[in-house]
Structure 1
């Protein structure tokens, strides 16, 4: 039996800021994970490619406000830092 992936433990080394900021990043990272797992069947961030995260930005956040997109991009930067990937998002 596989254990569920724990996003909080995964991001623990790169999360900084206030409690509310850390909570927002965790909530958004879990949302990104759930959408990518649903669409691409990639359960953990270790299996993600840049196209998966770019798809989330384009299709899931396409109609959201610029402010919402900005906060998700900040979370995606944390994920990229944790994965040690050179991903850049606009």
Structure 2
């Protein structure tokens, strides 16, 4: 039996800022993870590709406000930094 993926532990090394900022990044990263899991059955960020995160930003968050999408882009960049990938993500 495998343990569920711990996003908080995954991002612990790259999370900085105030408590509220760290909690926002964790909440958004968990939502990104659940959306990608639901669509492509990819549970861990190591299996993700740029197209998965870009899909989320364009199609799932497309009708949200620009500010909301901006904060999700920041979280996605944080995930990319933790993965050691050079994804170019924009609004």
The TM-score normalised by the length of structure 2 is: 0.98
- Where does the alignment leave 5 or more consecutive residues of structure 1 unmatched? none
Alpha-carbon distance between aligned partners in 1 of 2:55 and 2:15, rounded to the nearest angstrom: 24
User: Which residue is equivalent to 2:25?
Assistant: 25
Q: Do structure 1's residue 9 and structure 2's residue 19 form an aligned pair?
A: no
User: By how many angstroms is 1:59 displaced?
Assistant: 1.0
| Pairs within 5 Å for 1:34-73 | 34-73=34-73
User: By how many angstroms is 1:29 displaced?
Assistant: 0.0
- Where does the alignment leave 5 or more consecutive residues of structure 2 unmatched? none
Q: What is the root-mean-square deviation of aligned Cα atoms in Å?
A: 0.4
The TM-score normalised by the length of structure 1 is: 0.99
The C-alpha deviation readout for 1:33-56, integer Å capped at 9, x for no partner, is: 000000000000000001100110
State the aligned residue count: 90
